[in-house]
Amino acid sequence: MRNAMSSAVAGQATPVLALENVSKIYGDTIKVKAVDRLSLQVGVGEFVAVMGPSGSGKSTALNLASGIIAPTSGTVRVGGRDLAQMSEPQAAAFRRDSLGFVFQDFNLVDTLTIQENIMLPLMLRREDPDQMRRRSRTIAERLGIEQVLDNRIYEVSGGQAQRAAIARAIIHGPELLLADEPTGNLDSASAEEVMSVFSALNEQAGVATVVVTHDARTASWCRRVVFIKDGSVYSELYREDSQRAFYDEILNVLKLIGGGAR
Ligand code: ADP
């Protein structure tokens, strides 16, 4: 599994994620081309937002990146590995070990405490309980939720719940963190809180992160925004220094393509 560098172009780091000319057609009789010759690379340590109008193929692209669905044509590589070349058990192990997922509705288990939720990926690996507790506490401290570790989901704020979901997504040290509308269920203060956590993780730990969002404020935390329209890349923006100026630039592109800026 660790032969990622073998496909690297000499002198260039292998991208963490590479969608190469990928198309996805749903349906047998009525066909929907959800993704259309999409090419997208995410490098080591990148922090990328994917935006675009509803139905433009963002979720499909994310599901292709995680190997949950297979492309109709084209190649999807994570760390240089072609997902289509993996057996189902290899693909399951790859998703468990190499990816972290964050969802709009948190996907936390409400019968467990916040700490148990964060430890879940390690529990599935049957790691040492003391070590799991230590690691979950360290991550919780980093994400500012150590004071709610013993609470249940209904006892914490949306921002705290999503930070717990992020802690759970990174506790096993994934090479790629994928987030689908992670601020979609949050008020604006909690959304800022959550995005600052993604941003700090990216800056300090260099976790390559892809955030699908329709919220320009959320996207403005990222270093690059990829706009998708009709299943392929419409344009891209790179952030200079000012988040405020980046936000305005994002709004301008959204005005052109639509995309539900808030
Ligand atoms: P977005 O995330 O940008 O809203 P999606 O990737 O969800 O876009 O959808 C892209 C297109 O593919 C839409 O036309 C949608 O209706 C269609 N689509 C998505 N999932 C399926 C599916 N499982 N079966 C059939 N069509 C689908």
Determine the distance separating the centroid of ligand 1 and the alpha carbon of 13, expressed in angstroms: 32
* CB 38 near ligand 1, within 6 Å: no
89 compared with 11, residue with greater pLDDT:
89
pLDDT, tens only, 53-79: 999 999 999 999 999 999 999 999 999
At 116 the three-state DSSP class reads helix
Average pLDDT over residues 76-99: 92
The pLDDT value recorded for residue 11 is 52
Instruction: Write the residue with the smallest CA distance to atom 16 of ligand 1.
Output: 55
Instruction: Write the residue with the smallest CA distance to atom 20 of ligand 1.
Output: 60
Residue 96 scores a pLDDT above 60: yes
* CB 104 near ligand 1, within 6 Å: no
The pLDDT value recorded for residue 124 is 84
The pLDDT value recorded for residue 13 is 83
Determine the distance separating the centroid of ligand 1 and the alpha carbon of 178, expressed in angstroms: 18
Average pLDDT over residues 146-171: 96
Average pLDDT over residues 45-54: 96
* CB 26 near ligand 1, within 6 Å: yes
* CB 34 near ligand 1, within 6 Å: yes
3 compared with 23, residue with greater pLDDT:
23
pLDDT, tens only, 114-132: 999 999 999 888 889 999 9
The pLDDT value recorded for residue 7 is 41
